[in-house]
Amino acid sequence: MPRPELPALTRLGYGAANIGNLFRELSDEQAWAILDAAWESGIRYYDTAPHYGLGLSERRLGAFLRTKPRDEFVISTKAGRLLRPNPDDDGGLDLAADFHVPTTLRREWDFSEAGIRASLEESLERLGLDRVDVLYLHDPERHDLDLALREAFPALEQLRAEGSVDGIGIGSMVSEALAAAVESADLDLIMIAGRYTLLEQPAADAVLPACHARETGVVAASVFNSGLLAKDEPERSDRYEYGRMPEPLWERLQAILAVCRAHAVPLPAAAVQFALRDTAVRSVVVGGSRPEQLRRNAELMAIDIPAALWDDLAADGLIR
């Protein structure tokens, strides 16, 4: 059976983890201002997940999008983790997952068909919407990738066949999991988190070729490598993923920065536009915890980058 045609994604999307209080607490008013800035900047693709703030991101995003015409935006959320009452709640915060929200709920993995259906239904309830456009399986390799391939992806395919969602996919930062999913399941989209960026492109080895072969679209996320590429002038002490940047990667970054300077292109502009050079990539999803960050990202996406910059980076072996 042919896949349903997906709605078009804007080149720039918003990843809504920050409005789930990722890394710091935001008020409802602050979250709304961020989303308002995204909308005013032309962003019409929004991605969220139950994982983000134990449902807070979905609730805030849904409240905002309910004020907009439903045919003017695309929304994706994720399945795989159900939110259930936490019997061990001690009144603390979900800081182990980096979210500043109370631990009244906990995440429970469930890749069964019933679990996938329940996840979608509960997400729709939190969002206050009657449908989402795309449903991704979230980080299956962190639980059981083989089980996901046997049970979760067929359940997603069934939901799509029933018309409950237009598109299905996987969201992960592990190239091996992404490639296995594309090769084993009939997916519309995958979300590559941090594995296809200006600084690092391991997804180019097996993931992108599989996507081209299966006509599976790509959404590139975490393209700033934990914020490292979001600065015009990165610093050696900046965080890389969960720790200090390895020296070879720092040297590579300095070489990329030198090419950007030679072409008078801001490093963040090259970072946000890089992934779109591959024809499989439909959108680049970025986060942001302040309205000015969303406006800046839209400006970066609009900067005209000369082809010679990409040619020089490739000639120096810095990009594929």
Residue 1 lies inside a defined structural domain of this protein: no
Query: Does the annotation mark 52 as catalytic?
Result: yes
Report which DSSP code applies to 216: -
Q: So what's the pLDDT on residue 238?
A: 80
In this structure, is the dihedral angle defined by the CA atoms of residues 177, 180, 186 and 189, taken in order, positive or negative?
positive
Closest CA to 280 of 203, 221, 211, 213: 211
Q: So what's the pLDDT on residue 308?
A: 98
Report which DSSP code applies to 55: T
List pLDDT tens digits, range 225-247: 888 899 999 988 887 776 778 89
List pLDDT tens digits, range 78-111: 999 999 999 999 999 999 999 999 999 999 999 9
| The residue to which tokens 């259906």 are assigned | 117
Tallying the residues shown for the chain, one arrives at: 320
For residue 226, the one-letter residue type is: S
**Three-class DSSP labels, 102-115:** ECCEEEEECCCHHH
Residue 5 lies inside a defined structural domain of this protein: no
Q: Which two tokens stand for residue 6?
A: 């997906």
Ranges of residues in the chain with a pLDDT under 50 are: none
Q: Which two tokens stand for residue 134?
A: 């795309």
Of residues 14, 52, 136, 196, which has the active-site annotation?
A: 52
Domains: count for the chain? 1
Q: What is the CATH number of the domain that holds 193?
A: 3.20.20.100
Q: Which two tokens stand for residue 46?
A: 């929004």
Residue 7 lies inside a defined structural domain of this protein: no
Residue 18 lies inside a defined structural domain of this protein: yes
Give the Cα separation of 307 and 320 in Å (integer): 14
Q: So what's the pLDDT on residue 113?
A: 97
What is the residue range of 113's domain? 12-315
Give the Cα separation of 149 and 36 in Å (integer): 38
Residue 6 lies inside a defined structural domain of this protein: no
Residue 41 lies inside a defined structural domain of this protein: yes
Q: So what's the pLDDT on residue 1?
A: 61
Q: So what's the pLDDT on residue 214?
A: 97
| The residue to which tokens 């001690």 are assigned | 90
Residue 320 lies inside a defined structural domain of this protein: no
Report which DSSP code applies to 220: E
Closest CA to 50 of 30, 20, 21: 20
Q: Are 10 and 294 in contact (CB under 8 A)?
A: no
Residue 55 lies inside a defined structural domain of this protein: yes
